[in-house]
Amino acid sequence: DTEVTQTPKHLVMGMTNKKSLKCEQHMGHRAMYWYKQKAKKPPELMFVYSYEKLSINESVPSRFSPECPNSSLLNLHLHALQPEDSALYLCASSQIEGAREKLFFGSGTQLSVL
Amino acid sequence: AQSVTQLGSHVSVSEGALVLLRCNYSSSVPPYLFWYVQYPNQGLQLLLKYTSAATLVKGINGFEAEFKKSETSFHLTKPSAHMSDAAEYFCAVSAGENNNDMRFGAGTRLTVKP
């Protein structure tokens, strides 16, 4: 299994809603990532988890809350989002956290905030 | 900090023609360089990577790239374009041993004409 699975594929939410994005991999990877990608832009790193511990937080607003319950799962909890948060949210994983490691990406969750 | 610049946000070639996508990098330490491809409504998929071994790197789908330190370049090529190569291509750089701080270029959209 060489896949990173993200659910849901599409999500529409209001600014007062609470929702969660889920990401799962069974490749034994110990580093997992959340990226945000706006249309026609490159992905921007949000969070990195290494061995289930938050390793990097790229100054992301607190309305985004990551969680890594175990080595296979990564969640992104959303609360009180703004319309400008509408984007494709990509999860990725790698064997370990390291500059030479290649990233395996999921297909993303397309989020629309109304 | 490291960065990459992709020259040309949009490249159009005819089917069967040479594909050349340009990427220049900046890094204060020896870099690791990557090319990723993104098809519509998908995550990113690694095409190839340079990690300080051979300077000519061969990847999937007939793509290759050459690391040229003197030119700080890592251009992506394919001898003969196929319709299925139409996608968005991202060059990325990371550096250091333990730091996972990958930076993506702005992307180049490749169009293949019949």
Per-residue pLDDT tens for A59-90? 899 999 999 999 999 999 999 999 999 999 99
- Which amino acid is present at A103? L
Q: How far is residue B92's CA from residue A26's CA, in Å, rounded to a whole number? A: 25
User: Who among A42, A56, A104 is closest to B90 (CB)?
Assistant: A42
User: Who among A43, A99, A110 is closest to B44 (CB)?
Assistant: A43
Q: How far is residue A27's CA from residue A77's CA, in Å, rounded to a whole number? A: 23
Q: What angle do CA B41, B47, B52 make, to 5 degrees?
A: 140
Identify the pLDDT of residue B98. 60
- What the block records as the tokens of A100 is 């030479």
Query: Is A98's CB within 8 Å of B49's CB?
Result: no
User: How many angstroms away from the CA of A90 is the closest CA of chain B?
Assistant: 7
User: How many angstroms away from the CA of B16 is the closest CA of chain A?
Assistant: 26
Nearest C-alpha neighbor of B90 from the set B1, B2, B4, B11: B4
Q: What is the mean pLDDT of residues A16-32?
A: 95
Please name the residue ranges forming H helices in chain B.
none
**pLDDT tens column, B11-64:** 999 999 999 999 999 988 889 999 999 998 889 999 999 988 789 999 999 999
- Regarding predicted confidence, which is higher, B45 or A97? B45
User: How many angstroms away from the CA of B82 is the closest CA of chain A?
Assistant: 22
Nearest C-alpha neighbor of A61 from the set A104, A113, A1: A113
- Regarding predicted confidence, which is higher, B69 or B52? B69
Name residue B93's beta-bridge partners. B33, B103
Q: CA torsion, points A88, B90, B87, B61, in degrees to nearest 10? A: -130
Please report which confidence band the pLDDT of residue B99 belongs to, taking 50, 70 and 90 as the band edges: low
- Whether A77 and chain B come into contact, CB under 8 Å, resolves to no
- What the block records as the tokens of A111 is 């989020």
Neighbours of B61 (CB within 10 A): 12
Closest residue in chain A to residue B97, using alpha carbons only: A99
